Each structure stands twice: as structure tokens, then as C-alpha cells.
Structure 1
Amino acid sequence: MFNELSIWVVEEGLDYAVQIFSELNIVRGGPNMLHAELLGIRRLLNHTIPWDFCILLSEQDYPLRGNAVLAEYLWVHRGTSFVSVDEGECERDVSYQCGDRVVSLSGGVQYPKIPGMRYASGSQWFAITYQLAAVIGTHLSNSSTIVGTILHDLITVKQPDESFFQAVVLNSEFCSRYSDYTLHWTDKDSMREVRSLTSEYNIMSPGVLIFPRDVAKVSEVRDKSLWAFFARKFDNSLQSTQLKDSLDKLSKQNSRKVWTRVQKHQVPALWRLTQVLASSFADVVSVDRLQRNVDGLFHVQTLQLQLGHGRTTLLLREKLAMPSRSSSLLALRIGCDWNKTDLVFDGDVSAVASSSSGLYSCPSLWAIVHWQMSKKPVSEDLLLVWIDPGGTPMQHAPIKISEHSVLVWHRYTVQSMEQGILARRTFFVYREPSQIPWHKVKEFFDVLPS
């Protein structure tokens, strides 16, 4: 397999990005699975290609959605690691790997925990930020650090790969910046106990997903489990390959980019923004707006500009107001005409008309709060406050974030408060689009290459 992968990397021209290595004998339930993951993280940290997230995958995983949908999801969650944490449920049966066999040295007796250390267990699958990976890679070999202490403590217990990242998150500054959802979905109904000749530990493992038996089940996951970007497990059998082919088709169909021509009277501020931006280049020939794709949970307003000279294309993407400190709140947005069905702003974003009627109008003003999902019951009270240009609070709107909240919308609100100001979204109000200054364009939109 090592040789096959090495040949594949060369044939596909991926040697600039992909590294193949084989250094460890991995036995189910033993420590080398964790060692392999940590080796991979260290190699990524030394890679020449910059990255934001490290996602652990196996050869039996397969994507449920398109890459663009995953990229947008992670972009909104930037700074958030995805680690499954079931606190206090870590099994501490001391184990030892000898050659191709893992044995128990404590006969199921729980090895004592370090006083004051928070322990947890959970799924081995994770998606961690560069920042968390860098802390792990930097302190791994230093037993005087939290990371080094955790590794030294857990490496001798059963399945340390299902408790190491959980413990690091709980005992570090990252404890307030993680989601207990991983990006993986596993068919719990097909779980069975797997017995191995190389280990004294029996492992629970899901069955193989095949076509057509599991089509309906996987389709329901795609529709309802908005956090699921990978499913497991698959193999190379004909029926499993057919199911993977059907997923490819759905992903391509549902994540394709769809642009809609924007008329001046529909979203007047957009035209002003584009004119200001392009004035030094050329006249704006047309403006198209990117539509929310079927699979996408999060969507930010993105515009495509066609300029006169040479038909140059520019992209403008709405900036989000991010929380000022670690929080389950992901982003705050202000705009006109929130579409509850498509979960998009039909009107202007960040620069809005002062009138509710007429040629240049904002019939309804909305504040949109993107909120992190959590498996654990979450209920938080927030106060959204409308503040006038002079700094005087005009309206207070209490809202409650409940379990599985992903997105909350509310009229006439601009500020989220949770023991002080958590996030603030300023916006520009105009009578005529020509009043929008250039510095506001730069404040509310990013200019991107096409």
C-alpha cells in the first residue's frame, strides 16, 4: 500500500502537497495510532503550504458534501476546533504493545488519574485549528507542560487516541473554543463488537455502507445533520463504490456555484459599492450575486463584478462581525430583507437604505446571529440592543439560544451582550447610494481574486 500511494502521488503530481510515511506498527487499541496522528501533525506544521485546519480521516471515510461547502463552514468557524468530548468517561486500563499484540497490564482496573486533571473520552476523529496543532506540536516532548504531561500519562492506557485531544482541549486555553461535534457521521445502528487476534480489547465498529440499502439513511444525514461532512465506513466493494459515486453526484450538484444578475433597483448599495471600487479601473458592466447552494448552512453575500476594460472580474465578499472573545457565538450580521427560507439577505448588507419604501429602500432590517452547534444541551440568554448613531440604546431585545441553535434572526438589533459586549456590528445608513464612502466599502467587504 505504501508503494501504491507513493506511485499515486507522483502520477497525480501531488508531491508538492502530499507526504507519505510509514514509521509505526499500528495495532488496534494500542498507542501507535496516537503516535501516527502526532507525527502527521508535526509534518503538517513544517509543511510549506499554509493551512488553517487539520482534519483526521481514514481510508474508510468519504465526503458527504462538496469541498466548497466544507471550506465555507470552516471559514465561519475559524478558530474553533472540533473534538468529541464526553468528560469523565475515559477508560484507564493500562495497556502495552508488544510486537503485533496489545495486552492489558491491569486486568481492567482503572489506573489512577492525575489530581486536578480533567479527563474525557470520545471519537478519535477530529478537526483542529492550526493554533491548537501548533501548541500540541511545540509542547509534545516537554513533560513539564500540560500537553507533555497528558501524553506521558495517557500513552500507557487503552486507546489513548480517543482521550488525548479531549484532555488537551479541557486543560488548556482551548477549552472555550471547541465544538463537541466532529465532522464525521457514523452509523450507530450498525455498530458491532469487533474481536481482534492482536488485542485483548474488543472494539465497537460500524458496518460498511452500501448501495442501495443505505441510500435513504445517508440522504437523511445529508438533509438533517448539518455538521456531517464525512461518513464512515466504506470499502472498495462494488456496492459501497456505487454509494460513493451517488454521493459524488449529489455533492457536485448541490454545491455548484449559481450567480444571479443584480438589478440596480433591487440592491442599490451593491451598485454603489462596485462603482466606488472600480472607478479607478473601469466602468462596472454587470454585478452578479452568488446564491446559497443547497448543501450550504452558512452563506455570506458575495458579488462578482464584470469591468469594462478587458472584461476583468473582481469579487467582493461581505465581512462578518466576529466576537471579541472566545464564545459560542460565531458571527453577527446586519442587512435588509432576510429570507427565512433560503437563509440569505435579499437586500443590502452592512450598508442599508434609511427609508422603508421608495426607489432606495430597506423594508425590514435584520440582525443575524450565527451560533455554534453543540451536542450538549445549551441554553443562554442574550440581549440584542439597537443603538443610534449618538450611542444611545434605543431598543432592547432579549433572545434565548437553545439546544442545537445554529442561526437566530431578529429585527432591529445591532449588538449582542453576554456579561458585557460580546459582538458589535456597525453599519452605514444612506439616503442615496452615492453617499456611501470608499472607506465603508473597505470596512464591510473584502476584495478577492476571481
Structure 2
Amino acid sequence: MPKSRQDINELSAGQLNDYIHAVDILRARSAADPDDPAGYDFQAALHNDVFVGPCEHGSDLFLPWHRAHLHYFEKLLQGTDPPRTANVTVPYWDWIHAQPTGKFPAAFDRPGLSSPGRNLSPTPLPPDTLEIVTTETDPGKFGGFPEAHPGGDYGRLELGPHNYMHPDFIGGLMADPGTAAQDPIYFSFHCFIDLFWAEWQRRNGSPPPTSPDHDLRGFLDQPKHKVADFRDALDLDYAYEYSEQLDTAFGVPVPPPSPPRELVMTKPLEAVSEAGFTMELREKARVQFRLAPPPDLGRWVVVRLDELKVPVTGSYTLRGFVHPADVEFRRDDEAFARSYGVGYVSMWRAHHGSHGGGHGGGHGTPHGPHGGHGHHGGHEPPAHHPTSCTARFDVTAVLASTPTAAGEHVLTLQYVPSPAPTGEAREPAGLVAEVALKDVLMEVYG
């Protein structure tokens, strides 16, 4: 029988105590020997430290890498103090539903699971998480594309909810990829991401991975270390136990696959203002483009952002709106957002200058939580994150529901910098230099 991963709010007192007990033992190992691979610090460094792992983002490796990280962390927990810990599993944090008490589950205030500096301010949840899991049927669009894929890289689950939750909703150590896994909430947060993947696989027939033979860095000394090894959760000795509210949330039919679509037109969009992209962002925290699709061409219209730069000093979100040219953009107006919103893209900051590709530190500075795991052998680590990405907004429905006499609409991209790790708002102009892209284009499919 596979072991059960449960909602952290539904653990018994004994189950929660056993989980914290196991985590405490891993921390004690690191206190005794910071370089102990079986200690908490080393396991956190698999995500935090570009020289130990590093973790994978921005491709089809994102979901299997984090599944592997959870798997081996869980095995260490189970081996800390058997038989007491033999059946301990990582509990998931269901962050698409409001918590019974406070912003985070009460368990994360307990010694052993608490972390200073989290964002305790009221913060909206990403609006599209459940929709992505239950309606997206394309594997690449859901979980990411192979490296160097011409049509994109990040999947919707990562570029939207995942990248928003880290810096905007949770904050604290989780706001920075370089410290994220030092907060124990990381494992329960990513356990829920993994649950989404498992549910998506169940709903869509568990399609084969696109990079099955790719090695997952950080786990090469483990018996399972390839993408194909982490396709099926049951093969890894765990299964998810859904809460009643999750059962209800996922109890919707799987939509039929979308019919093949042929790209019949690509057209660059012209900026409304002559002030320039950066100046518009700095002065108004938004940029606008003219959008005039052909009236009789195609049934699907997409706006594509090409080579959207991955920031290195902070995180931000671009919110997309398509509205008639004679309708003024209204910032923070919920009625306007409901009528004209077409989606968002969250850009999580780079990992000490290396999340986003390149070759990491370059100067040999150790990034581990205890200063270990330095630059071994003088070789810089390979790139593991893209420096830029492609993002798309499906604007078909909004165009159809808001016809204009002249046929002209405006695409507004609103720039929203992520708050400080503890939740304080940042000035919009602060990160403008980090917001860059190559082209904004309209794609029409017939």
C-alpha cells in the first residue's frame, strides 16, 4: 500500500508531531555537520545552491525535478527515527482554499515549521490555478516545454500560480529562490504543486514525459535520477488523500482536446504612446499597444510576448487587459478586470543571478545556507533556467464580447512589482529596468 500524503490541516496531532520530529532530526544533523547530505540544510541547498543541484525551472523538467526533491526528502524523514517516523509523509498545503485560521495553516506557526519574515498581509490568491489543472490538456502548456522549444518554455502552472505564490503570497525566505527551501513551508507548498500534477496526469491519461532520459541534477547519485523515473507517483510509494473540498474542486469533467489550429497571421503590435516602453512603465506602471484583429480571419486570437526577460533583482507580475480603444484603463477596478482581463504572467526573480540561465555566480561564492557547497573544481555550473521566456494571452473571448465600431482595441500590460518579503508594497518604478521584452505580437489561428 502506498503511503498517504494528506492535507496538513487534516493531520492528527500525533501525525503532525511525528512530521515535526522528523524535520527536527534533519535539522540536528545539519547543526552537527553542515555538509551532511542527510541533513536539512543540504536538502534545502539542493534547491537553493546552484553548485549542489541546481533546481530546474522554466522547462519540462520543473515538475519531475521537484517531485524528485520531495521524494528523497520524504525518504530521509521516514528514516530518521523508525518505527515512529517510518510512515511519515510530506503533508500538502491546500492554498487554493481559505485557511480555517489566518493566512497560512496553523501548523506553520509551530516550532520546527515556523519561519520569520513571511508575508502576513492579506494577499489575493492566483485566480486561475484550478482552471489550469482542470481545463488545460496540452502537456507542454501545462507543465513546460523541453529546453530550446521554439514555442515556449515555462508551463502555465509555473509561470502563473507558482511564480506568483513564492514572492507575492508567501514571501519571507520563499520570495528568493536562493533561500526558498530553508522555509519548511516550501515542501508543503511544492507537495500541492505535485498534487496538481498527479491530478492532471489522472485526468489526462498520464502522457509520457517529453524528456524521459534527461538526468535530474542533484540526484545523480540516487538510484532514480531520470525524468522517466518520476512519471508515476505510485511507483514512488505515495498517493494523495484528497480533502472533501478538493474532491469537489476536481469533480468536473475533462474537456475534449482542442482541435488542431493553423497559424494564419502574425503581426507586431504598435505602441500607443511614443514615450517608449521603459518610460511608460516608469511613469504609469503600464504600457499599451494597438490591437486590431482582422474581422473575418480566424477563430482564435493570441497576444504573444517574445523574450520576456527573467529579472535578477526582484519579481513582478504583468497583468493583461484587452479593452476597446475608447474605454479608459482603470487600475485596480474589479469590474474592469472582470470585463477585460485576459490573464497574467508572474516573473519570479533569478537565483542569485543564475535563475534565468547563464553560469551562476561565476566568482565562486558559495550560496548554501551555511556557506558550504562552494565552487568545486573551478567549473561554473551549467545553465538551468532560461534568461527569458515566451508568454501568451488568449484574447479571443474578450474580443468577441466587446466589439467596437472601428474594430480597434487596446492591449494594456499593467506592471505590478512584487512586495517586499514581509509584505510591504514596493514603488512601481523600482524594478522597471528589469522589465524587458523583444516583441509584442498578435497571432491569428484559423
Pick the structure with more helix per residue: 2
TM over 0.5: no
TM-score, structure 1 normalization: 0.26
TM-score, structure 2 normalization: 0.26
Structure label with greater radius of gyration: 1
- Structure showing greater relative contact order (alpha-carbon pairs closer than 8 Å, 6 or more residues apart): 2
Pick the structure with more strand per residue: 1
